[in-house]
Amino acid sequence: MTTDEAVPQKAVQAYHLVISLLGMHNPQALFASMELIQQCECRVIESKLSVLGTLFVGHIMIMGKWNQLAKAENLLANLAKELDLHITWQRTHVLPCNPTTVSYSVYITACDDTEILSKVTDFFMQQQIEINTLTSYTYLSRHTQSPMVFINIQIIMPVAAAVANLRDQFMLLCDDLNLDGVIELDK
């Protein structure tokens, strides 16, 4: 065999771990979490980190070899004590791509009302549409200082589904609840 010939590499099994963090807002928490992940030679696949009120909240999915994740799991308990965080973690796997589904984004803006999130999520549940992510926040409108809400939802639906019918039903919901909403294909 010459040096130019490729040697078949044994496929290395990748494992996944989801980590959830909760604690008082501390800028050190984000840095320490990312440093721990790097120290274990793991890769961040997805992360969602926020400050909610006085709390720091984070969800991180990492990938690595079995022993790298085991090292991370051992170090997470120490990190929780050091930074006074509630940290939980669980092994998981990435869902395979489903070519029979498509992702859409839903955007809603409205005057803030305690029933909106409940009614909108119920609408998609009744339509048997999967909600993949939901983000919302409230704010005061610029000119009137009225309390407003913005909602962003990523939904997953079958490619064969009649999106026009879903949009029609959604627009009826928006009219009933006085919402400004739109459903768009994810770009």
What are the chain's domains? 15-92 (3.30.70.260), 101-185 (3.30.70.260)
Encode 152-170: b = buried (16+ Cβ within 10 Å), e = exposed: ebebebeeeeeeeebeeeb
pLDDT of residue 10: 56
Per-residue pLDDT 10s for the chain (187 aa) are 454 555 555 555 789 999 999 999 988 888 999 999 999 999 999 999 999 999 999 999 999 999 999 999 999 999 999 999 999 999 998 888 888 899 999 999 999 999 999 999 999 999 999 999 999 999 999 999 999 999 999 999 998 888 999 999 999 999 999 999 999 998 8
Euclidean distance between the first and the last CA atom of the chain, given in angstroms as a whole number? 47
pLDDT of residue 104: 95
Q: Please name every residue paired with 51 in a beta bridge, in sequence order, or none if there are none.
A: 56
Tokens of 26: 């501390």
pLDDT of residue 121: 97
pLDDT of residue 64: 96
CB-count exposure of residue 72 (10 Å: 0-12, 13-18, 19+)? buried
